[in-house]
A = this chain, B = another copy of it.
Amino acid sequence: MLKLTFLGTSASVPSVERSMPSIAVRGKELYLWDCGEGAQRQMMKYKVGFGSVRGIFITHMHLDHFLGIYGLIETLRLSNTFSQKLAVFAPRKFGDLLISRWDFLEINEIRQGLLLKDSEAAISAFKVRHSGESFGFVYKEHDKLKFYEEKAHRLGLAGPMFREIQENGFVKIGRKRVELEDVTWTKTGRKIVYTGDCLPSRSTVEAAKGADLLIHDATFANEFQKEAEERNHSTAEQAAEVAKEAGVKQLALTHISGRYRDAAELLKEARAVFPNTIVAEDGLGLEITRKEDE
């Protein structure tokens, strides 16, 4: 399974409808991308395996993106169930902003590139244009080698030969030599990309190439494009342009300004450029599936 849950989808200031930015990414492990105020309660509300989080990733050091980390960590401490370290990845400044001693935290400064690997996927960071050090994140499942089973069996592969051919790149069956590439294909892992707050940029297009899902800052509609630029944010249309250029499968707009009670305007402007767009709402769960998995 690979499932996202939007815990908060507001911009800067919460509203009754939208909590502060935070996204739960559930693959083999559970990760949080940003952790705005109230994230722990949103996890309870939307039944995101509270307490099982293995890593928290903060895009940038604006308060609306990380204030929830204190309460969440304190609750984890009180629950006393932490047997392993909890990895926090954040821009440099974060280490100075800890307001209590939490010995089970392992604080890592974010740099571009690979941040963390588990048995199923890797999370890496890329720079975005916002303010100070701001990053986007890529969750990418490891590619997997798959056998054309029927063909392999027809060619005589059996039992330990499957391991042998993977180790050596070929296997001999009587006089025949079977090459690995003739009986296998690569199943590319699913890929999710989250920009955090940002202006549209080349780096996002590159990072998002071929992603199953791009989650992009879409604070404003077109009429406030100038304001978006001044504040280092994107319009919904700009997010759609990035999605189109990167050739992603789906775009989710988030970081929605409080002025949009109804985000229909944002959705319309984005869909005109990139039809497979949705607007994230608090509590929205998205399972990332592909036709070939079904």
Q: Which of A's residues lie within 8 Å of B, judged by CB?
A: 12-16, 19-20, 37-38, 40-41, 44-45, 63-64, 67-68, 70-71, 74-75, 78-79, 97, 99-100
- Kindly identify which residue among B14, B63, B79, B97 contacts A41, using a CB–CB cutoff of 8 Å: B14
- Say how many copies of this protein the assembly contains: 2
- Decide if B70 touches A67 in the complex (CB within 8 Å): yes
Chain B proximity of A56: nearest CB distance (Å): 15
The chain B residue with its CB closest to the CB of A76 is: B13
Residue of A12, A20, A79, A99 with most partner-chain B CB within 10 A: A99
- Decide if A19 touches B37 in the complex (CB within 8 Å): no
- Decide if B14 touches A44 in the complex (CB within 8 Å): yes
How far does the alpha carbon of A63 sit from the alpha carbon of B63 in the complex, in Å? Answer: 17
- Kindly identify which residue among B63, B70, B78 contacts A74, using a CB–CB cutoff of 8 Å: B63
Chain B proximity of A68: nearest CB distance (Å): 7
- Decide if A16 touches B37 in the complex (CB within 8 Å): no
How far does the alpha carbon of A203 sit from the alpha carbon of B10 in the complex, in Å? Answer: 44
Chain B proximity of A107: nearest CB distance (Å): 15
- Decide if A44 touches B16 in the complex (CB within 8 Å): yes
- Decide if B64 touches A71 in the complex (CB within 8 Å): yes
How far does the alpha carbon of A16 sit from the alpha carbon of B42 in the complex, in Å? Answer: 8
Q: List 8 A-B contacts (CB under 8 A).
A: A14-B44, A14-B71, A14-B75, A16-B41, A37-B70, A37-B71, A63-B100, A67-B70
> Which chain B residues lie closer than 8 Å to A12 at the CB level?
75, 78
Residue of A20, A37, A97 with most partner-chain B CB within 10 A: A37
- Decide if A75 touches B13 in the complex (CB within 8 Å): yes
Chain B proximity of A235: nearest CB distance (Å): 20
The chain B residue with its CB closest to the CB of A62 is: B74
